[in-house]
Amino acid sequence: MLTTLFSGRGRLIVHFTGWLLVALVTYYLILGLRPPGEALARTAMNIIFPAFLFYVNARIVVNRLFERHRYWQWGFWSIVLWLGTAIARVWAELQIFGESLFNSRSIMPGDEGNRMFFVTALIYFILMIFSALYQLLENRREIEIRHTQAQLNYLKAQINPHFLFNTLNNIYSSAVLQHPRTADMVLRLSDLLRYVTYDGQARRIPVEKEIAQIRAYIELFQLKSEHPLPIRFDVEGEIGGLEIEPLLLLPLVENALKHGDLEYDPAGFLQILLQQTPKRLLFRVVNSFHPDHRQKDETGGVGLDNIRQRLELNYPGKYRLEAWQEGAQFVSELELF
């Protein structure tokens, strides 16, 4: 939520709202000392100069000089910006209004100008520090976001070939046996790869899309068998409008089909439950297996560790992922809350 709030349009709204609140408070305070027209003009002046100082310092001086380790130039231009803005602010007020806000009589610009400059320079110095700290923290936050996204992309890249190799192995076996449904399997794989390639790169997708791909993957697996396999997929609760990270649920089903015993055990089964309540999303996968016949890639596969790392990046503190063995059954549970 905070990432969305302080990025893109959300950041613009936050900044605009902040300056608007400062303007309203400033106008209210000045209105007690000056007429409405003059109060409005002084308020505008007290917003324009600080805003100029804040953003020029943050976006140009800090970003282009300090962050590029050009410290001498950063120091020089910081002083120029600081004192130059303070001088311009004092000069503009004396030229426009002829006196400071707290002076009730016309004055000579000299003495009053010196006092105004000292106060303005002190305030602007504090604003410069705040502006620099804000920009440095924002830069570090953006670096962290990019690093997190790079980690997620790396983890998703691990899933894609893992998913592809497993499915191609199934199709290869069917082709060797000249299975009549091989062409249908290739067509199903094409649809699944389209999902993995395009929708899989999104940050969030409707959960209905993930459900549709799970069903498609099950159908692809079913095509290898002459008889319907005992696979049950139940969806409970209202899932409309719910969004999740793509390719979060499908790997659990893929692992269950890969390591299960549906193809050679008449008593084998796979049960999948997706349950949505107002406070949580539960995804439970139960498959039968025989310990002596468990399959595993030579490279070890992706497994639950990959999913757990992605959850830690995208749902920190808001998930539960567990897997355990109950006799000849293997249970995987993912809960998002």
Taking the mean position of all CA atoms in its chain, how far away is CA 236? 28
3-state secondary structure of 178: coil
3-state secondary structure of 181: coil
CA atoms within 13 A on the CB side of 8: 5
With 90 as the cut, is the pLDDT of residue 62 above it? Answer: yes
Q: In the CATH scheme, what is the code of domain 179-336? A: 3.30.565.10
**Whole-prediction pTM value?**
0.56
Interatomic CA distance for residues 189 and 131, integer angstroms: 53
At CB < 8 A and 24+ separation, what contacts does 20-27 make?
22/47, 23/47
- Read off the pLDDT of residues 175-202 as tens digits, 9 standing for 90 and up: 776 777 777 778 777 777 777 777 777 8
- Read off the pLDDT of residues 13-54 as tens digits, 9 standing for 90 and up: 889 999 999 999 989 888 888 889 989 999 999 999 999 999
First-last CA distance in the chain: 15
**Closest among 252, 232, 257, 256 to 319, alpha carbons compared:** 252
Q: Where in the chain is the domain with CATH 3.30.565.10?
A: 179-336
| 331 CB-near residues (< 8 Å, 6+ apart) | 284, 285, 286, 323, 324, 325
What backbone torsions phi and psi does residue 197 show, to the nearest 5 degrees?
-75, -40
Taking the mean position of all CA atoms in its chain, how far away is CA 99? 50
Determine what percent of the chain falls in helix, strand and coil, rounding each to the nearest 5. 65, 15, 25
Which residue type, as a one-letter code, is found at position 279? Answer: K
Q: Would you tell me how many other CB atoms lie within 10 Å of the CB of residue 260? A: 27
> Looking at per-residue confidence, does 224 or 16 come out higher?
16
Interatomic CA distance for residues 61 and 57, integer angstroms: 5
- Read off the pLDDT of residues 151-163 as tens digits, 9 standing for 90 and up: 655 555 555 565 5
Q: What is the mean pLDDT of the chain?
A: 82
List, in sequence order, every residue forming a beta bridge with 321; answer none if it has no partner.
334
